[in-house]
Structure 1
Amino acid sequence: MKLAFHLGRVYTLSLAEILSVLTRRGVEYEITGLFTEILIIKTNQVLDVQSLQKRLGGTVKIMRVADELTKKLPDDYVNFTLKKYLTPQNLKKLLTEYKGKVQFGVSLYPLSYKVNLRNQNKNVGMDIKHLLQENGVSSRLVLPEGNSLALPSVAVTNNHLLEKGAEIDLLVSETKIYIAKTLTVQDFSDYGRRDYQRPIRDSRVGMLPPKVAQIMINLAQYEPDEKNKGGYILDPFVGSGTVLQEAMLIGFKVLGSDISQKAVNDAEKNLDWFRTRYKLPPHKFELEVADVGKISKAFPDKKPLAIITEGTLGPTYAKEPNESEMAKNFEELSKVYLSAFKEFKKILPKGRTVVMALPAYRVRKGYISFPVVDKILKLGYDIQDPISQETVTKYGFLKVTPRKSIIYDRKDQIVVREIIIFKVK
């Protein structure tokens, strides 16, 4: 089978997560297509896409590739190439059987910077609508708004496309068109609930989005299975508890600590709410007030599988700080991070993982990264490639930094997150 994944906004991070989860689950696959929004894989294994969609924080949609067509010319319009393909028999492969008025949408995804798909959704959609009409089928066409080429998950969900028809996806390269059908979409309402409905939200200390926390957990490549029974995910900068709630939802037991009593109290309220809201079993989390520099004494009888955390990011800024201010912040934070990684070595055996979001600064010429990483490596750590070097080299648009990290940021941020996977040597 061929599956396509609609990657999130920070597509390199989304890709790293998908490949980590597939690898951890023992899925043998081949990448047959990749661009900034789309990953296409071929596998001989049958995958539970519903379960996979819930596990992936960075994937917007999962699609099944039904067919592929060869374009005669690179600049051919999509509807021109599809002309002979669009038959009642082929449409049956794409549309869900529904007795009422069929609801369907058309999304286009370029697989190359050279592919221009502007204003082509409507032409394809109307061709399909006319074909359905000729065969006595009443239908409603849903198209992306404005200049967008693809429908967002909210439009697919709110228009009930998967239940009452289909979202038809056309993945277009210079030479081919992959014809796909959306199987699942990200549950945007549930992510909103996990973020905004928690009892305690404190924007002053920064808040890791649940999707990013989920991605970081997946990058560690552990499963809450019998082999790991008794193992825990540890977050020693627990904050409001976002990492721990996402780990609990996956099925892990969790440990959290923070030097701030308020943070621990907030995390406890949030996790109690979360456990009740999602009907999770009791005894899933333990929290302590503890300095990260003494974390080995906080849970003396517990052995974490991995440490997943967003460390202290330092001051926030509305505009770019000067170099001396950034250097001063890094110097002060270095003491905390070096103390933390010395302690991590005491509780993590060789080969175990620390997935951490470190502070970096967005400046006019790019990013300024936290120089403490070189010192951390000297304590006995390696950095794991989030995506294989072979893949990064083959697809030059992937944004993995020279030190094997991935930046997660938004346009309005000066202080950004640099996500790194450390391995204990």
Structure 2
Amino acid sequence: MSSLYILGRQPEIGIAELESLLGANNIKPIGTHAVLSSQDANHIPFSRLGGCVKVCKLLTQLPYTDWNKLITYLFSAAPQFLNYLPEGKLNLGISAYGFDVSPAKINASALQLKKIIKNAGKSVRIVPNVKNELNSAQVIHNKLTSKNGWELVLIKDKNQTILAQTVHVQDIEAYAARDQKRPKRDARVGMLPPKLAQIIVNMASTGNNRFGATVLDPFCGTGVVLQEAAIMGFSVYGTDIEPRMIEFSTENLNWLDETHEIGNFEWFVEEGDAMQVKWSRNFDFVAGETYLGRPLNSLPDEKTLQKIVSDCDHIHKRFLENIAKQIKPGVRLCLAVPAWKTNKGYTHLNVLDYLEKLGYTRQSFVHADSSRLIYHREGQTVGRELVVLTRK
């Protein structure tokens, strides 16, 4: 295993994304928030991954998890690496995943390590921990992936510890810019985060689709999925039932072309009802967020919820029947469909129970539970269930 990925807020989704891109045989979940991969970290550009916050190079594996023993190891090992660093002050941070230690304990250990490094002749500055793990902003702002930066990552995995060093971190400012600086946004149709759009594209495309392959988003909205797919190097084709959404996607894709250096990418959007449209262009795979039902600020009563579910079921069934007639066996789809959080768990679309009858096989994952791939945030009533299908 040559690279290590630190997963985001919902690890199961990040695992499914990596399995889609790298293959089940090339990854191994570690602890609760990491994945080891036999593929080189540069095999997939890190900026393409929506479900991972850091990628690290593996330093060593230690056959114990006792914090004091781990820090003693760092005390003895750190000085020998100092000769490989350029002149100047070292910025040092520590992230601990899965350990029953406090941020105060980590900070105390870091200060001890600082003394040892200073005694070895190297000036060092410690990035203090507020939580056990440093977040992306801390890593970026303290330049911990630069030549004079170290973020040491310790991951508890059963009875052993993985020690790694962060080499890339999620570019939170780039995500914010792509999300907030687009000329057209519309909260009424839902604000699809660019990270989630990346995940949807990655789970639909797998690692096998060639550069320049065409992705269809049949519910393109303001064009977030199209935008992220274009940045990855895919040609993009979007349709939507609302003319206003086609105008928004057009303006946003023109903005992307003007503001991002992604080369000449091909894109086309047109009006079309996903339940009955005959798509006018060829495409290789399908990725998108479907109709999520009417916006909800709180859980409605049972009768109202069932009416919402029924309406969404009708649209999804008609869409799946329509597109099944227009795609070849083996074409893969990743759809973010609605799932409603109730006091008893999630209420799912009924159509998911008879996908086989509609001509689809639902993709299962070796390292992730398909039933747990629901993207949600605290307080949300409607989550997005990631459903990966293959045309039979």
TM range (shorter): over 0.9
1:347 corresponds to 2:347:
no
Q: Is the partner of 2:276 in helix, strand or coil?
A: helix
Aligned to 1:183: 167
Contact in 1 for aligned 2:235/2:266 (Cα 8 Å): yes
Matches within 5 A, 1:143-154: 143-145=128-130, 148-154=131-137
In the superposition, the TM-score normalised over structure 2's length comes to 0.93
Measured in 2, the distance between the counterparts of 1:283 and 1:14 equals: 27
1:39 corresponds to 2:35:
yes
1:160 corresponds to 2:143:
yes
Measured in 1, the distance between the counterparts of 2:303 and 2:248 equals: 34
Contact in 2 for aligned 1:95/1:166 (Cα 8 Å): no
Aligned to 1:200: 184
Find the partner of 1:127 among 72, 92, 112: 112
Contact in 2 for aligned 1:259/1:290 (Cα 8 Å): yes
Q: Is the partner of 2:347 in helix, strand or coil?
A: strand
Q: Is the partner of 2:284 in helix, strand or coil?
A: strand
Q: Is the partner of 1:358 in helix, strand or coil?
A: strand
1:15 corresponds to 2:4:
no
Q: Is the partner of 2:228 in helix, strand or coil?
A: helix
Matches within 5 A, 1:65-84: 65-71=58-64, 76=66, 78-84=67-73
Measured in 1, the distance between the counterparts of 2:122 and 2:266 equals: 52
Measured in 1, the distance between the counterparts of 2:47 and 2:83 equals: 23
Contact in 2 for aligned 1:121/1:149 (Cα 8 Å): yes
Which amino acid is 1:138 matched to?
Answer: S
How has the CA–CA distance of structure 1 residues 96 and 251 changed in structure 2, closer, same or farther, with 3 Å as cutoff?
farther
Measured in 1, the distance between the counterparts of 2:4 and 2:253 equals: 34
Aligned to 1:325: 304
Measured in 2, the distance between the counterparts of 1:331 and 1:137 equals: 66
Contact in 1 for aligned 2:31/2:158 (Cα 8 Å): no
Gaps of 5+ in 2: none
Which amino acid is 2:109 matched to?
Answer: V
Aligned to 1:86: 75
Q: Is the partner of 2:303 in helix, strand or coil?
A: helix
Aligned to 1:48: 42
Deviations 1:317-374 (A, max 9, x none): 2221111111111222222212211121122100111211111110122111111223
Q: Is the partner of 1:215 in helix, strand or coil?
A: helix
Measured in 1, the distance between the counterparts of 2:276 and 2:214 equals: 18
Q: CA deviation at 1:116?
A: 0.9
How has the CA–CA distance of structure 1 residues 30 and 336 changed in structure 2, closer, same or farther, with 3 Å as cutoff?
closer
In the superposition, the TM-score normalised over structure 1's length comes to 0.86
Identity of aligned residues (%): 29
Measured in 1, the distance between the counterparts of 2:220 and 2:270 equals: 10
Aligned to 1:240: 222
Measured in 2, the distance between the counterparts of 1:223 and 1:2 equals: 18
Q: CA deviation at 1:91?
A: 4.2
Deviations 1:252-307 (A, max 9, x none): 111111110101000100011012111234461101111112322x41xx221111
Moved more, 167-176 or 342-351: 167-176
Contact in 2 for aligned 1:94/1:166 (Cα 8 Å): no
CA RMSD of aligned residues (A): 2.2
How has the CA–CA distance of structure 1 residues 154 and 332 changed in structure 2, closer, same or farther, with 3 Å as cutoff?
same
Q: CA deviation at 1:92?
A: 4.3
Measured in 2, the distance between the counterparts of 1:96 and 1:8 equals: 31
Find the partner of 1:286 among 233, 244, 268: 268
Contact in 2 for aligned 1:224/1:252 (Cα 8 Å): no
Contact in 1 for aligned 2:2/2:41 (Cα 8 Å): no
Measured in 2, the distance between the counterparts of 1:331 and 1:207 equals: 23
Aligned to 1:255: 237
Q: Is the partner of 1:325 in helix, strand or coil?
A: helix
Contact in 2 for aligned 1:56/1:215 (Cα 8 Å): yes
Aligned to 1:395: none
Measured in 2, the distance between the counterparts of 1:173 and 1:35 equals: 4
Measured in 1, the distance between the counterparts of 2:105 and 2:171 equals: 28
Measured in 2, the distance between the counterparts of 1:133 and 1:59 equals: 33
Aligned to 2:287: 308
Q: CA deviation at 1:175?
A: 2.5
Measured in 2, the distance between the counterparts of 1:218 and 1:52 equals: 12
Q: Is the partner of 2:379 in helix, strand or coil?
A: coil
Q: CA deviation at 1:90?
A: 4.0
